[in-house]
Every structure is written in C-alpha cells, then in structure tokens.
C-alpha cells in the first residue's frame, strides 16, 4: 500500500493500493525502538549475535493466523496486534509496501465508527510524541473507483507493542506509530482497523525482540478457504514443500529485478527488458507502466480494453474472461550463484470481478500507473513468501494453491 501523496511517491496519484500507509522519507521511524532506551540498546547488541548467515537453517519464529477480506475478489489479509499496557487489540493489514503503523485513536470518534479505537488514557506506557500529519491515498480498499475520499489525520505516538507472541524479553516491544484522529468515510467499510507496514529496513524491530530479522507470509485465496499466516522472526516450513528460490533486493526496500516476462509461454522484445518491481503485500493485484501492461494484455487478448470511466483500469466482457489463458511468468534475478527463476501468476487471476458501473465488463488484473510498479497479492496467493531482511533477499516456494 502506498499513499497517493508522499514525498517519494507523488507520481502515484492513482495508486490502486488501498488503505495505505506512508513510507514517509522524513518519518521512517515506526518499527524502531525509541533511541537511547537502554533495554533496546542491550537488545541490539544481543542482536548482533542473531544476524544470520544466508546458509544457516531457517529459524521457526512465532506465527499468527491471517483472515482474508474477500469482497467479490480477494482484497487483503489481516491479523491481530496488541498495543499498550494493559494491551488493547487491533486488526491490521501487514503491508510490505509501507513501513509505518496506523491504528484508530479514541479522538477519531464517530469518524472511525465500527473500528476499535486506541484509548491512550487506558495505557500506562503511552507516550504522545506531539507530531501531526495527514496521509492521502489514491484509493481505500477494494476495486471501486477513486473518489477523493481516502484521507487520514494522524498523530505520532509510542507505546508497547505485541504481535504474534512477538515480545521482547521484558514483555513487550516499544514502537512508534500513528494514531488516526480523523478520517474520511472511504475507510469505513474496511473490516480491519489499521495497517502495520514492515519495510526491508525493519532490522531493529526484530532484533530488539530477540529474533532474526526475517518473516514468512501465506495468503490462501477465498476459493481455497481464505486463511493465511504471518510468521515473525522465522519461516513456517510446514506451509510449502519445494525449495525456496531467492532474489536479491535491489535497494533496502522490497524491490526485485525482473529480467523478463512471458505470457502463456510467449514473449516479445519489449517484455524482455529489465524492470524493478516493488513486492507489496498491501496491493491486491498488479500495477505496471503503460507499455508493459499493454504488451502483456496484447498477448492475452485484443478484446481487453481501457475503461475510460476509471483511468488506469482495463477490462474485458465477463462472458469471455473465464475461457482465456493468461498465465504470466515473471523472471527474477537469482541471488549470487543461483540461476534466474520464474514466478507464475495463473490464468485464474485475470479477472478482478465486474466493474460496479459496467457489470458486463470484468476488470483485468493489471492497472496502469506512471509511477512505481507493484506486484501484489495476485502473485503472493500462489507462493509462500520469505521476507529476509538480514540477508536482503526475498524467497518464494509454491504453496500448492
């Protein structure tokens, strides 16, 4: 998930992604401990011993279940976190496209109705950091049109924090996060309360809790039961039975180098260029630039057309879509010493369901944007993914779905 308006991502005014959060260049501090906190510093020293070599066996970590938000199509997966002393619980989307945490606060009142709201006065460990901001988003959640109705007013705070039994030796992690103090109505339908971003630079978040900086994610589509799992500080090796294939991060973020794309086994010269994609667990489908999207669509069907009502979206008559083969192979660079490999988005992902205002037209999985390019849940649903911060690489193994 990426906000429509942020210092680094201004180009993404039509970002598809959702109730998104900010990789604020100036405030990239959630998921890090309060500077100078002695226990945290001790933990960091301890953490030096926890940094793993890429060849070490995979740690097991601690897991929690995720729930699929399905509304016509699989949209997001979310799970529970606890904040404060005593703990107050929230459901959040675990979002690799951002690196900050947002949950509703009591101050939001009616504007956050239907969502749990954090009560600072009920937490003995709460700290108000007295910084306010607004976050704007291109869309909220779902595949409905952009309506300029997705804005958050937020306030920076700090408190103890627990996720998936993931606690520091003394009981809880201390984290900065944004409390939502007001919001536009576009967020109200979301079944989850907030977002927890996990960037590729979140080393301290894991090390301070005594875990290696690695996490695993499983997203099971609705038609296979709609469950999911987040494993922090390790990998759940019971969720896949093929070797993990790794691609190195291009920068200290979840960007990978793709050296080519194939559609139903075919390719073109324009599809055999190098591209850098952000792997974003907070994006439901795919967002590519126009030349790349059109090159892929033209190998699927000439009947896929732009939907002028919603710029950046494409569709095809719903009665044609289920018969179309549309397997998309994305070739990724391997880690040093390992070959490049393909990840496959199966044909079943082509349709994101009918457009609300043109129900005879089904939305196809790739949106066009001039900004960054995102690979989202259309792909992750079919792989167990391993987000290895310590070794700056991302691993995949087919999950059987």
Ligand X SMILES: *[C@@H]1O[C@H](CO)[C@@H](O)[C@H](O)[C@H]1NC(C)=O
What's the angle, vertex CA 227, arms to CA 223 and CA 233, rounded to 5? 140
Among 123, 281, 331, 385, the residue binding ligand X under the rule CB under 6 A is 331
Contact between 144 and ligand X (CB under 6 A)?
A: yes
Does 265 interact with ligand X (rule: CB under 6 A)?
Answer: yes
Known catalytic membership, residue 95: yes
**Rounded distance, CA 264 to CA 328, Å?**
6
In angstroms, give the least distance from the CB of 386 to ligand X: 18
Q: Which of 136, 167, 289, 342 binds ligand X (CB under 6 A)?
A: 342
Q: Which of these ranges, 20-28, 183-191, 198-206, 246-254, lies near ligand X under the rule CB under 6 A?
A: 183-191
Question: Which 106-125 positions form the footprint of ligand X (CB under 6 A)?
Answer: 111
Work out how close the CB of 112 gets to ligand X at its nearest, in angstroms, rounded to a whole number.
Answer: 10
Residue 185 contacts residue 110 (beta carbons within 8 Å): no
Nearest to 101 by CA among 115, 71, 81: 81
Rounded to whole angstroms, the Cα distance separating 177 from 131 reads 11
Among 91, 155, 258, 284, binds ligand X (CB under 6 A): 284
Q: Is 171 exposed, middle or buried (0-12, 13-18, 19+ CB in 10 A)?
A: exposed
Task: From 25-33, 200-208, 296-304, 338-346, give the range in contact with ligand X by CB under 6 A.
Answer: 338-346
Q: Which of these segments, 20-28, 98-106, 170-178, 184-192, binds ligand X (CB under 6 A)?
A: 184-192
Single out the catalytic residue among 68, 159, 236, 280. 280
> Do the Cβ atoms of 189 and 142 come closer than 8 Å?
yes
Burial class of residue 165, CB neighbours in 10 A (0-12, 13-18, 19+): exposed
Report the number of secondary-structure helices (H) and strands (E) in the chain: 5, 25
Nearer to ligand X, 285 or 391 (CB): 285
Among 185, 191, 161, smallest CA distance to 108 is for 185
Closer Cβ to ligand X, 25 or 357, answer by number = 357
In the complex, what is the shortest distance from the CB of residue 286 to ligand X, in angstroms, rounded to a whole number? Answer: 7
Answer yes or no whether residue 143 interacts with ligand X by CB under 6 A: yes
> Are 376 and 285 contacting, i.e. CB atoms less than 8 angstroms apart?
yes
User: Of 262, 279, 380, 383, which lies in the binding site for ligand X, with binding defined by CB under 6 A?
Assistant: 262
Contact between 259 and ligand X by CB under 6 A: the answer reads yes
Q: Applying CB under 6 A, does 82 fall inside the site for ligand X? A: yes
| C-beta of 165 vs 223, nearer to ligand X | 165
Q: How far apart are CA 95 and CA 104, in angstroms?
A: 17
Of 95, 159, 201, 208, which is the active-site residue?
95
Q: For residues 59 and 208, give the distance between their C-alpha atoms in angstroms, rounded to a whole number.
A: 16
Q: Which is nearer to ligand X, 82 or 268 (CB)?
A: 82
Q: Does 64 bind ligand X (CB under 6 A)?
A: yes
End-to-end CA distance of the chain: 24
Whether the Cβ atoms of residue 376 and residue 217 lie closer than 8 Å to each other: no
Residue choice 134, 341, 346, 392 for contact with ligand X (CB under 6 A): 341
**Which one of residues 138, 197, 233, 234 is an interface residue with ligand X (CB under 6 A)?**
138
Residue 76 touching ligand X (CB under 6 A):
no
Alpha-helical segments (H) within 208-328: 290-300, 318-321
Q: In the complex, what is the shortest distance from the CB of residue 163 to ligand X, in angstroms, rounded to a whole number?
A: 8
Which sequence positions are flagged as catalytic? 95, 280
């Amino acid at each position: 998930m990426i906000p429509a308006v942020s210092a680094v991502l201004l180009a993404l005014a039509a970002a598809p992604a959702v109730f998104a959060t900010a990789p604020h260049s100036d405030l990239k501090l959630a998921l890090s401990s309060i500077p100078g906190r002695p226990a945290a510093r001790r933990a960091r020293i301890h953490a030096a011993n926890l940094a793993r070599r890429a060849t070490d066996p995979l740690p097991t970590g601690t897991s929690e279940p995720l729930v699929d938000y399905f509304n016509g199509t699989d949209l997001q997966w979310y799970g529970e976190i606890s904040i404060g002393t005593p703990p107050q619980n929230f459901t959040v989307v675990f979002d690799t496209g951002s690196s900050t945490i947002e949950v509703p606060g009591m101050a939001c009142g009616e504007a956050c109705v239907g969502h749990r709201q954090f009560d600072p006065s009920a937490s003995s460990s709460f700290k108000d950091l007295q910084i306010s901001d607004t976050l704007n988003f291109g869309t909220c959640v779902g595949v409905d049109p952009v309506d300029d109705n997705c804005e958050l007013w937020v306030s920076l705070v700090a408190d103890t924090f627990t996720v998936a039994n993931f606690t520091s030796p003394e009981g809880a992690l201390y984290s900065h996060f944004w409390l939502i103090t007001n919001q536009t109505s576009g967020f109200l339908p979301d079944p989850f309360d907030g977002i927890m971003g996990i960037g590729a630079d979140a080393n301290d978040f894991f090390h301070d809790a005594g875990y290696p900086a690695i996490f695993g994610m499983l997203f099971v589509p609705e038609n296979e039961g709609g469950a999911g799992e987040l494993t922090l500080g390790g990998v759940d090796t019971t969720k896949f039975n093929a070797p993990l294939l790794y691609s190195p991060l291009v920068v200290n973020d979840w960007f990978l180098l793709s050296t080519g794309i194939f559609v139903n086994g075919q390719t073109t010269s324009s599809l055999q260029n190098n591209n850098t994609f952000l792997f974003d667990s907070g994006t439901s489908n795919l967002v590519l630039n126009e030349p790349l999207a059109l090159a892929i669509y033209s190998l699927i069907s000439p009947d896929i057309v732009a939907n002028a009502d919603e710029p950046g979206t494409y569709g095809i008559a719903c009665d044609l879509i289920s018969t179309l083969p549309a397997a998309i192979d994305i070739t990724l660079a391997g880690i040093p010493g390992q070959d490049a490999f393909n990840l496959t988005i199966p044909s079943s992902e082509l349709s994101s369901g009918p457009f609300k205002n043109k129900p005879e037209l089904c939305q196809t999985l790739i949106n066009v944007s001039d900004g960054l390019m995102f690979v989202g849940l259309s792909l992750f649903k079919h792989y167990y993914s391993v987000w290895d911060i310590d070794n700056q690489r991302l691993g995949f193994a087919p999950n059987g779905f």
